[in-house]
Structure 1
């Protein structure tokens, strides 16, 4: 019998002594969290992922300048941007998605961020400045910097990199509609953020988004075909590029108020889900529980359903609402059409690596959709089950609290938050001594002793949310097990918005 089972056995004794709070915490339940602290740290994490020349305002000060010659050997400036995870490659596909989600987080929940809003905007701009560089040559989108095989063969700090910084791009002859479409979405979503604070920058982002979308749509094709050996299996596109084109069009419709992009959605929304296996409900259409750097289907539906401008088109919004409701029914634990799993401790699980990427992204969508249900006094019907906005918010809160420590391990899966968190994360910069501690160069294999060490990482990547526990709620805390211990930008990005909401609604049960 596990500890929680034993705790239940002694429930009457604990009741007599009034120590129910201790029981609930011991079972990973009921602990109140400081969502504001978690929010601040979730944004700070992005400073630890920065590539390029770091600003004087850099707070994650064990990180130093890196990759200052990116693109120069090819005659372009590709300095900047983010490393996606624990390696030193810059993959634009997940980077652009992380940027879109940071922007959406600010648009939906920025009012609750208080003094962290400025840091969130800085995190977005660090990405958009780089995405502008990546799209500065008409007819070309640079989509990756760094040889992934050479990089993954080494355990080096980004400040020491001596592996090839090969540049990869897509063109009219070698299309990549998914990565170009996601880049357009990121630029369009971010343009809304700076509309009032920096109008000229906002307009630059929006204009570039339109250009890149046109490039992606006119030159249709997957970057799997032209760059497959270099992007697969790392960030191979499994769901087709149609979803990214719709996703970009939705953000351009929202950002530009241009009917062309809204009409594009109406004319092409039927293509959604055409390149993936779907679970059908009475043969009425696809239920997609998918949302992340690869598949945007659920996000498109929620975005359309909650945007006032797109809601003016009755046909479009009816389709989106139907699909969004099906998405919710695929997630709710009590739904008869549930297509995800939950661990014994209550964590949402989906197939694939780095499970918390699913948990945070899906939680964000549920929260955005819950706000829409609340505003319209609507409910979601899943067979004989009815769910209102409160039910969706309650489910999201259970996921957030699990990640922050209300789980059978009593462990926060955010580095630096709580008393117990992962200390041996799969991250090169975090696991190697900083330049301040060890100014001499550490070469490709020179970092191996640090990788195999059983010691905690010397540098805390504050705010990093790792891949998460096994489906049985256990977590080994091992650098070797990267699926569990590696943080990524696309795990954190949607979590920023979710934490901002609960920071302002801390008393929701």
Structure 2
């Protein structure tokens, strides 16, 4: 009898934890302004090239100063995508598109968050677009990659010491890459909107490149990883190029207002999968959910011709599918969840999908609210639009520490965060402290394998994050979880800015009126 009572109390205790853990995680509050500031700082740590006088990440120095020299072109600049030193064009362009989208939708919120952050956001975008201008050396030529992933991954060096190959690879009309050209066109079109009033000349230049790249990608069609085989093991274009062409067309329509780009997105909606693919993922590779969101904005605002209505309505139905899947209200076809409530797509670098989902949820909430729609129809029943906002917040809070590990997955934020990030520059003593050359094998022997925290904090980086059971191992060799990427952090710029604004207005704060329990999902 005593054993039965003991088991009964244990079961009760477990049930209490399960019931009240969501309430506990909701009670946590975060400094979203600080998170925004740190997220923008991270991009300075990922810069390649000759760093400016106002560089804030002091442990990072000039690097890649001869990029493109072998090919007779200036490819100095841009971003390293993650913890290595290859400059991959596709994820870099997606990063810039998402940074630009954040500024377009949440310009006022970013400016109000903290002094100087709006300028830092513009600088982060321009560091990428300046590089894209260099990389687009001819209407039908775009340099796709600098460096070789295979040789780079056999070496553990600081970027200032690089001895690995800086071979550059391009796409052209004989070796097409419509996905890369399309994403770069989208990035430059979106950035042209950002700079339209601040720097009209630069905005016009970006738009010119965007239009040329879109025409190039559409005329000479093909996947870029068929032309640049070296990228296949790292950023293969699994979704193909059709989503990027639709994505670019809608960004060009938003930048120019020209009907020809909207006509393109409508006429090719079926053939290119825009109204055929119902997605539960939005990422550097798969853009369909983003395409569907942009089309839905046009529909909700009435910025389309009557003849376009049937297709635009189908775009919206697919956007709704993505949102309902994230909310767990999609008749079984939902995004998986970890026990702690994290949206879960796949094992490798899952937080990239969490951050992009949080952004789309936040943006869709804004679009529906502007159209005075308070409900969204999901297969499992109507959903209040406030639930989109609450889910976006729950995912942002999960990243910042409201999770079973009680760990912030944004480096440098909070009291507990990953200290063994899989990142060459952060894991080796700063070049400014010790400028002696460190070779490939020496880097592995002396720095990669040592069981001590990184000497440099990669502030603002969002790492790959935990597995489907909310478990995370902070180990430099555990690159699936501890490597950070630019496209993990980029979508969160807008999310943090919006959450910060909402937190400052409690009287009108929808979050204070909307309880959100992981048990309902």
Q: Same fold (TM over 0.5)?
A: yes
In 2, the alpha carbon distance for the partners of 1:60 and 1:302 equals 35
Taking the TM superposition and a 5 Å limit, the aligned residue runs for 1:138-217 are 138-217=139-218
Contact 2:362/2:495 (8 A) holds in 1: yes
TM-score, length-normalised on structure 1? 0.92
Partner of 2:41: 44
Tell me the alpha carbon deviations over residues 163-186 of structure 1, each in whole angstroms, 9 at most, x when there is no partner: 110000001000000001100000
1:422–1:380 CA distance, 2 compared to 1 (3 A): same
Q: Residue deviations 1:107-156, cap 9 Å, x none? A: 00111012311100000000000000010223111000001111010011
Post-superposition offset of 1:376 = 2.0
- Residue 467 of structure 1 corresponds to which residue in structure 2? 464
- Paired residue for 1:389, among 373, 385, 392? 385
Deviation (angstroms), 1:335 = 3.6
In 2: Cα distance, 1:97 partner to 1:450 partner: 31
Residue aligning to 2:89:
92
3-state secondary structure, aligned to 1:380: strand
Corresponding residue number in structure 2 for 1:491: 488
1:428 aligns with 2:424: yes
Counterpart-to-counterpart distance in 2, 1:97 and 1:139: 20
Cα contact 1:78–1:134 (8 A) shared by 2: yes
Query: How far apart are the structure 2 equivalents of 1:286 and 1:80?
Result: 36
State the distance in 1 between where 2:459 and 2:425 align: 12
**1:298 matched to which residue of 2?**
289
Report the count of equivalent residues: 488
Shift of 1:403: 0.6
Q: Greater CA deviation, 192-201 or 434-443?
A: 434-443
Partner of 1:418: 414
Cα distance change, pair 160–260 in 1 and its aligned pair in 2 (3 A): same
Q: Following the alignment from structure 2 to structure 1, what is the Cα–Cα distance between the partners of residues 122 and 313?
A: 33
Q: TM-score, normalised by structure 2?
A: 0.90
Secondary structure of the residue aligned to 2:171 is strand
**Cross-structure match for 1:289:** 280
- Describe how 1:260-279 pairs up with structure 2 within 5 A: 260-273=260-273
Query: Aligned equivalents of 2:12 and 2:227: distance in 1?
Result: 55
Establish whether residue 125 from structure 1 lines up as the match of residue 126 from structure 2. yes
In structure 1, distance between residues paired with 2:13 and 2:184:
52
2: CA distance, partners of 1:138 / 1:377: 43
**Structure 2: how far apart are the matches of 1:342 and 1:319?**
27
What is the distance in 2 between the residues matched to 1:472 and 1:320? 34
Structure 2: distance between partners of 1:305 and 1:311:
10
> RMSD of the TM alignment (CA)?
2.1
8 Å contact from structure 2 (residues 279, 322) kept in 1: yes
SS in 2 for 1:271: coil
Structure 1: runs of 5 or more not aligned: 13-19, 275-283
Instruction: Return closer, same or farther for 1:213/1:77 CA change in 2, 3 Å cut-off.
Output: same
Correspondent of 1:328 among 323, 326, 335: 323
SS of 1:447's partner is helix
Hey, which of these two has a bigger chunk of helix by percent? 2
Distance 1:352 1:345, change over 3 A: closer
CA distance in 2, matches of 1:487, 1:130: 21
- Aligned position for 1:480: 477
2:328–2:334 CA contact under 8 A, matched in 1: no
Change (3 A) 1:175 1:24: closer
Q: Distance in 2 between matches of 1:169 and 1:10?
A: 55
Cα distance change on mapping 1:447 and 1:10 into 2, 3 Å: closer
1:352 Cα offset (Å): 4.9
